[in-house]
Amino acid sequence: MAEEIERGKIARARTATIEEKLLDGPRLFATACEAARAGIRIHYPNADESQIERILWERIYGQ
């Protein structure tokens, strides 16, 4: 099943337009940021949204 999913991803990537491929980078970054925020919320359950964003940007760009 995993191989079938991977083949489907490859097929979609091959047929994607240049515009779709260019938009994939920002989409993947946004998805990664959401996952990181979720992890931050687990580690810092009392953090408000501004604190979560600060921690996220520190992780991305350093302090």
Residue 16 belongs to some domain of the structure: no
Residue 4 belongs to some domain of the structure: no
Residues 6+ apart with CB under 8 A from 13: 21
Residues 6+ apart with CB under 8 A from 59: 36, 40
Domain containing 39: what range?
Answer: 25-63
pTM, full prediction: 0.74
Residue 3 belongs to some domain of the structure: no
Q: What is the pLDDT of residues 9-48, one digit of tens each?
A: 899 889 999 999 999 999 999 999 999 999 999 999 999 9
How many structural domains are present in the chain?
A: 1
Residue 14 belongs to some domain of the structure: no
Residue-level pLDDT at 63: 76
Residue 57 belongs to some domain of the structure: yes
Residue 45 belongs to some domain of the structure: yes
Residues 6+ apart with CB under 8 A from 52: 37, 40, 41, 44
Residue 10 belongs to some domain of the structure: no
